Chains A and B, each alone.
Chain A
């Protein structure tokens, strides 16, 4: 050790307000090995980095401690800075004085005292650091997109346009997602299918895009640049290569009782079906729970009518294994189940529906062919009540704590569309607040009120009661007039909250990506890295990350694609050099370490060991540094304590413990 340099950052007033920076410098100078200590306003700035580089060069520093924000923020910055100045980048340690000190402690004495101790621990650690050299690993130039909604489609198109191969894995028989189910879209009221279908077609026709529809990701292994993924292609019972998409089978199928998922359960579909007319791929699937042939070996009609001979009742699930350099999660959302909201009579009355169901009712290809009618008796409604925030913004555990973000706008959209087409229908909207912070959004909402005469009532609804005459009574409050209200309605529409797709949990587990308490996938940084997950090589697109409308989804999808392209454009990635290493002299080859390694990185070799002049051959553990991810499980498992982790060695951690407890 030539000597350690300590660089304390004020971070403007972020650190300096509750930590006496001068005192930290003064105390650092007293620590063994420290030959240089200074403070500066912003260490991460160019001028700040230049100070570090200058000290490294002039004082020939062998170790650097930067007392600043979290290492998760700027560790790489300072490592690069050290490297440029000629110091091994792994000779840098960060003392986290901002996130874990100044921001959480208000008292300057307490804050300073803790900052001094954290700095001391980092100095103790760095004095035991060793130079490490990052290895290299290759990049498979292909991306996987999980989920084929508008988010997944857009991400795939953008990646493919840059020249890289992309696979889309979509669990349902067709790509398109929720957007395919929508009628018109705010704030411009263009038809959803008209803007979505061309994108679906583009994706299907793109030579670089490969769509695995009716498929699910089953297993993921590997790491950034080199993931191996098992995809389960569910049995379709229809040969994709032979089917011409004529639709004869669907017409003839006698089993027509299944509820159409696409029409939100408001109509029926045959056992052999494509979810909607513009489905991509336009190849039906047979639902084995409904097919008479598959259930009890009767019927077989579709095989007989299919001119192409595409029906194959013997088809089985198939597992394909593919390699990817990057993975994008785009699993989207579902509308919540309304079991907890029985006060709105959703389960009791057919005329209480969700907004998504209304989308289908308004759609020309929907269950009522686009006519606004009551599902109970087919009559045209005269009075419609919308209830917003059903299951969103709940303080209790009944619903979601978050705002679903899209409901205010789609409710205004529904109100406008109804008043435009049926001017004699009265529309009332109960709301908590109307939230319209988007381009042309507030204008859109004001049109609903001013131009279309929609009756917005600020207040919540306590109860909806179905009456014997078939009508519904909505019991609400008008907070602005401070009075109880009873509104008679023919139809009630609930703006139900949205939540992440239920499988996202298992997807996140497979990818070791984290999810938040609401099951949305966590981004690497809430502000600065919104489309990356904390797991390298895993990216986020669309509503799986948080509620979004289509414009936001599409921009995020493009952003995720750019990150993927940036990764795939590299030929080599630097690997983490903080890997495990066995002391060959002491290792007795017992296998305890290999048993706990999740990556199979440890093997055993017979090696000729020179033990102080005595040469003998014995079995020792050898870590494959390309496979080792540096978790450290093996280091604790080793009964002889000979397995150690570089960068987080036993001696380094003990030095930190000692420095903290001193």
Chain B
């Protein structure tokens, strides 16, 4: 218990520029807090997220990776989030097979108007990852000092 409390997970959040990144900005503007463990990488669209980026994150010691995009039907580029959803479903089941728990990966739709949803999603996600403890699976030993 106490170990989990002190454990500060490394969380990478890929957010699409048009919806989720704006949703995160709105969470900020509304002062809706979430753990500082979350670091956002801005991508034009959730479909820009290459599975390679997620593997890389876990390899470099990330404890959780979340991809946020526009709601189905609302993608700025019409269909990008559908590609993201399909690709991630495949990738996540493969990661699960490799022993990276399902709770460490997530796809979430957050619109530009959903500051509240952004903050609650991040709170939930981080506490789920904290619960699991550090990720020791895919970590590349050569990257550890």
Residue of B nearest to A98 (CB): B28
A506-565, CB < 8 A from B:
508-509, 512, 514-517, 522, 534-535
Q: Which residues of A contact B17 (CB under 8 A)?
A: 72
Asked whether A650 and B44 contact (CB < 8 A) given A98-B28, A509-B73, A522-B113, the answer is no
Q: Report the stretch among B75-83, B93-101, B126-134 that lies at the interface.
A: B75-83
> What is the bound-complex CA distance between A637 and B50, given in angstroms?
9
Please, how many residues of chain B have a CB less than 8 angstroms from a CB on the other chain? 52
Asked if A656 CB lies within 8 Å of chain B CBs, one says yes
Whether the Cβ atoms of B113 and A517 lie closer than 8 Å is yes
Q: Does A282 contact B (CB under 8 A)?
A: no
For chain B, residues 42 to 61, give those with C-beta under 8 angstroms from any C-beta of chain A. 42-45, 47-53, 56-57, 60-61
How far is it, in angstroms, between the C-alpha of A103 and the C-alpha of B32 when the chains are bound? 8
Does A656 lie within 8 Å of B52, measured CB to CB?
no
Judge whether A534 and B22 touch: CB under 8 Å.
yes
Question: Residue A384 at the B interface, CB < 8 A?
Answer: no
- Pair count A-B, CB < 8 A: 160
Instruction: Flag whether A274 is at the interface (Cβ < 8 A).
Output: no
Bound CA span A652–B29, Å: 28
Given contacts A657-B56, A661-B60, A99 and B80 within 8 Å (CB-CB): no
For A99, the chain B residues whose CB sits under 8 A away are 24-25, 27-29
Count, chain A residues at interface, CB 8 A:
54
Q: Is B39 interfacial (CB-CB < 8 Å)?
A: yes
- Please give me the residue from chain B that is nearest to A596 by CB atom: B83
Q: In this assembly, does A632 line the interface, its C-beta being within 8 Å of a C-beta of chain B?
A: yes
A113–B37 Cα gap in the complex (Å)?
Answer: 10
A660 lies within 8 A of B114 (CB): no
Q: Inside 8 A of A101's CB, which chain B residues have their CB?
A: 28, 36
Pick from A72, A107, A632, A653: contact of B41, CB below 8 A. A653
| Interface membership of B10, Cβ < 8 A | yes
The reply to whether B39 and A117 contact each other, CB–CB distance below 8 Å, is yes
Cβ–Cβ contact A636 & B49, under 8 A: yes
Question: Could you tell me the distance between the alpha carbons of A633 and B77 in the complex, rounded to whole angstroms?
Answer: 9
Residues 113-160 of A at the B interface (beta carbon under 8 Å)? 113-114, 117-118, 121
Q: B70 near A: Cβ within 8 Å? A: yes
In the assembled complex, the CB of B4 is this many whole angstroms from the nearest CB of chain A, namely 17
Check B31 against A512 for contact (C-beta < 8 Å): no
| B-side contacts of A637, CB under 8 Å | 83
Interface hub of A106, A107, A598 (most chain B Cβ within 10 A): A598
Is A313 an interface residue, CB under 8 A from the partner? no
Is A71 at the interface (CB under 8 A from chain B)?
A: yes
User: Is the Cβ of A121 less than 8 Å from the Cβ of B41?
Assistant: yes
Known A110-B36, A534-B18: A658·B111 in contact at CB below 8 Å = no
Q: Which residues of A contact B75 (CB under 8 A)?
A: 512
B28 touches A100 (CB 8 A): yes
Q: Which residues from 617 to 650 on chain A have a C-beta closer than 8 Å to any C-beta of chain B?
A: 629-633, 635-637, 641, 645, 648, 650
Q: Name which of A70, A118, A515, A662 has the most chain B CB atoms within 10 A of its CB.
A: A70
Contact A509 B74 (CB under 8 A): yes
Q: How far is the CB of A523 from chain B (nearest CB, A)?
A: 10
B120 at the interface (CB under 8 A from A): no
Residue from the set A100, A512, A631 with the largest chain B CB neighbour count within 10 Å: A631
14 contacts between A and B (CB under 8 A): A70-B25, A98-B28, A100-B28, A100-B40, A106-B33, A509-B74, A630-B44, A631-B48, A632-B43, A633-B83, A636-B50, A645-B44, A650-B52, A661-B10
B interface, CB within 8 angstroms of A? 10, 12, 17-19, 21-22, 24-25, 27-29, 31-34, 36, 39-45, 47-53, 56-57, 60-62, 70, 73-80, 83, 87, 111-114, 119
